[in-house]
Every structure is written in C-alpha cells, then in structure tokens.
Structure 1
Amino acid sequence: MLDRLCSKAACQREAVATLTFDYADSMAVVGPLAPSRSSHGFDLCADHADRLSVPQGWQVVRHQVMGNV
C-alpha cells in the first residue's frame, strides 16, 4: 500500500511533491514531499506536480532536491 496519495480528485497515484500557496505574494510553491501531511499543503503525484498551472499574475516556484555532487 502506498503511504500518501495525490490530493487531486480521483487520482490514485503516489504523492511525490507538496504544493503550498503564498497568497500575499501570489505564489505557488512545489517542493519535495513534506515529511508529514499538513492542512496547509497538497500532496501531488509527479504528473500533477509537472502540469501545475496557476492563475494569471501568479508565480510558480519549484524546489528540487539535488543529488550528491
């Protein structure tokens, strides 16, 4: 059984990213899956995280984990 599923309706894929919003700055932030669920975040599968769209005038910030260099 998967630990956490995508928050999108009817999506049954495993969550790999967490989406949060900064309404004051009109910003959506997508980062690695948070260690635990939060009432302020949305867990997304890879497809939904990649296809994220935001309202006009908003900015998307993507944080990615870099491997060992």
Structure 2
Amino acid sequence: MVRRFAGHGLFTALGDEPNWGKAQWILLPATSQNTMRGYFDMIVAVCEQLVGATNGPITPMSPSFR
C-alpha cells in the first residue's frame, strides 16, 4: 500500500529486490539491539513528556510480552 505513493525505496523494498540489500546495509546498524538500548533513555524521556502533556499522571508500567 505504501509503495503506491512512496515508490520503491529503502522502507518499501521487498526481499527479492536490489533495494532490499541496500536497505539492510543502511538500516541494520541503526536498528540493532545495542543501538536500540542506547535510544532507551531518550525514548523514556519523550514518553514522559507526552504523558505529561496530556495532564495525566505518570504511573509505572510493567511491559507485558503476551
């Protein structure tokens, strides 16, 4: 569906297309597990700001993997 307006690119490449290999080479380092760990504190800070912007209480949550 996205390909209809975005065309063939890094985020829309299918596994059998040349752009898929390029996408993996470019995007994989930015989305690795170690890199995502580095983003964690920033993500939490932004989430806290968003929750605060709704004037709702910030309550601790436990992640659920169900």
TM norm. shorter chain > 0.5: no
Structure 2-normalised TM-score? 0.18
TM-score, scaled to structure 1: 0.18
Rg (Cα) greater in structure? 2
* Structure having the larger proportion of residues in helix: 2
Structure with a larger share of its residues in strand: 1
Indicate the structure whose relative CO is greater, using CA pairs within 8 Å and at least 6 residues apart: 1
